[in-house]
Amino acid sequence: MTTQEALFKYTLRLGDNSIILAQRLCEWTSKGPFLEEDLALTNIALDIFGRGKSLLEYAARVENKGRNEDHLAFHRTDRQFTNNLICEQDNGDYAKSMIRQALIDCFDLMLYTELSKSKDETLVGIAAKSIKEITYHKRHSFSWVDRFGNGTEESHERAQKALNELWRFTGEFFEMEEADELLIKEGIAVDVKSFQAKWEEEIKALFLKANLTLPENVFMQTGGRKGIHTEHLAYLLAEMQALPRMYPDAKW
Amino acid sequence: MTTQEALFKYTLRLGDNSIILAQRLCEWTSKGPFLEEDLALTNIALDIFGRGKSLLEYAARVENKGRNEDHLAFHRTDRQFTNNLICEQDNGDYAKSMIRQALIDCFDLMLYTELSKSKDETLVGIAAKSIKEITYHKRHSFSWVDRFGNGTEESHERAQKALNELWRFTGEFFEMEEADELLIKEGIAVDVKSFQAKWEEEIKALFLKANLTLPENVFMQTGGRKGIHTEHLAYLLAEMQALPRMYPDAKW
């Protein structure tokens, strides 16, 4: 595997994580629990879409085969997407969406903080912008987890149920493969293992404060990196890609 | 409008009604309330798909522009579908699906019984096969309406709610337009007004027996014939068309 191939895979995966999550979050637009929150979440989704666009743009540039970010987003099948399974999980209720978001925000802030020290200037630029955004996203999702966990009996139960459902998708955060190893050696990619303990510590503290219990002895799900997804992704893509698939030659 | 144009419009609309309803019913496959019922409903969906296929095949033949039934089903946008709005409504709970089905089955049995007297041999053939199928479908949906209406308080409430929601889509059954008028004169199409009173009578009897109340003074929805649909259709098509849109040149 060449550095170019590894970098393509790496940026594609980061990009996939962003756009699939953003697409999910957009489903809340106009359906948020109240107006202020609806706007906040839509803005968060937009931040993440923006990051996904930059990453896929860069991936296409690295690949150098005439594809652009739109090709990558709208003309690949589910088996060609490499996002973590947690990003594609259905929104469920607001508790589930916020638990999912907190787990991801906590990871992403550490990931992009490390990535901002990369030797790759483009990734540094994307990371620098992302850190500011995710800092705010994380404050938002963490505060919701606390409110749900320490709220009513109903909100607590729903948050606990969501955590039980989603925890098995957190193992993928810390998977690494050949592309990662190669790029870490070159000082480009992030060694996610380096902050795994820190992530677990922060997450434990969050849920302890929220009076929620982390599930134990969970069998961690895997497959996203190899394009083996849960049933949710194909439906998400059918909707996300409907227009470009319908008009494949359309120009904006 | 020539007879050919009118016949294309007419068969296309009958075909659209069938495949959109069948696609909806298929969403229940593997999710039915119990195994026997799951199989029954899947078979019903398959009957209706078969009818839709025959009708679209014929529509394509009448149109004579090189399209086939797959083009018509999978490569038109929502604005080009002419099905009645009731067919695209979401399944909701089983009560809603069965109320929708009963309203449609009752209409379709009368429609295809009349159509079997058409001067168009192809339509007669399709109608003859459909009558047998719909007779069974109607027995099935009517018995469910009765069970829900006269069942528990919960089932009764759900059936009543579904009826309240769906009734406004029944006006479209009896709409006629230029193509109908022209084909009725030629002895090809069915004058749906001729059995409107009979349909209303049967439906009233059904709901009276099921202890359900027909809503009054409902503003009837319209638009399907002109391609103006409820929000549900575009999502249904995104899913139904995902594969052919993804691989537009694939051969089976």
For residues A65-94, average pLDDT:
97
Q: Is the pLDDT of residue A252 over 80?
A: no
Q: How far is CA A34 from the centre of its chain?
A: 24
* Residues B189 and B118 sit within 8 Å (Cβ to Cβ): yes
Between the alpha carbon of residue B77 and those of residues B9, B38, B135, B158, B161, the distances in Å are 16, 30, 32, 33, 31
The span from the CA of A26 to the CA of A15, in Å, is 16
B246 contacts in A (CB within 8 Å)? 77, 241, 245
Q: Please state, rounded to an integer, the average pLDDT across all residues of chain A.
A: 97
By the CB < 8 Å criterion, does B235 face chain A? yes
By the CB < 8 Å criterion, does B237 face chain A? yes
By the CB < 8 Å criterion, does A245 face chain B? yes
Task: Tell me the helices (H) and strands (E) count for chain A, helix number first.
Answer: 11, 0
B237 contacts in A (CB within 8 Å)? 242
Q: Phi, psi at residue A67, to the nearest 5°? A: -85, 155
Q: Is the ipTM of this complex over 0.90?
A: no
Nearest to residue A207, comparing CAs of A156, A134, A169? A156
Q: What single-letter DSSP state applies at residue A219? A: P
For residues B73-102, average pLDDT:
97
The span from the CA of A69 to the CA of A61, in Å, is 9
Contact state of B238 with A234 under an 8 Å Cβ cutoff: no
Q: Which domains are present in chain B?
A: 3-212+222-246 (1.20.1260.10)
Q: What single-letter DSSP state applies at residue B214? A: -
Chain B, residues 127-146, CB within 8 A of chain A, namely none
Q: Is the pLDDT of residue B252 over 80?
A: no
The residue among A246, A247, A249 with the most chain B CBs within 10 A of its CB, best to mutate, is A246
The predicted structure's pLDDT at residue B251: 78
Q: b or e along A35-64 (b: 16 or more beta carbons within 10 Å of the residue's beta carbon)?
A: eeeeeebbebbebbbbbbbbbbbbbbebbe
- Per-residue pLDDT tens over the stretch A112-159: 999 999 999 999 999 999 999 999 999 999 999 999 999 999 999 999
The span from the CA of B84 to the CA of B232, in Å, is 12
Cα of A144 to nearest chain B Cα, Å: 30
Contact state of A239 with B238 under an 8 Å Cβ cutoff: yes
Q: pLDDT band for position A249 (50/70/90)?
A: confident
Given B77, B235, B246, which is nearest A239 (Cβ)? B235
Q: Is the pLDDT of residue B65 over 90?
A: yes
Which pTM does this prediction carry? 0.84
- Per-residue pLDDT tens over the stretch B136-183: 999 999 999 999 999 999 999 999 999 999 999 999 999 999 999 999
The predicted structure's pLDDT at residue A113: 98
Nearest to residue B206, comparing CAs of B114, B134, B143, B133? B143
DSSP 3-state assignment of A33? coil
Q: Phi, psi at residue B52, to the nearest 5°? A: -60, -40
Of all residues in chain B, the percent with pLDDT exceeding 70 is: 100
The predicted structure's pLDDT at residue B170: 98
Q: Provide Rg for chain A, Cα atoms.
A: 18
**What six digits make up the tokens of A232?**
């949710």
Q: pLDDT band for position A251 (50/70/90)?
A: confident
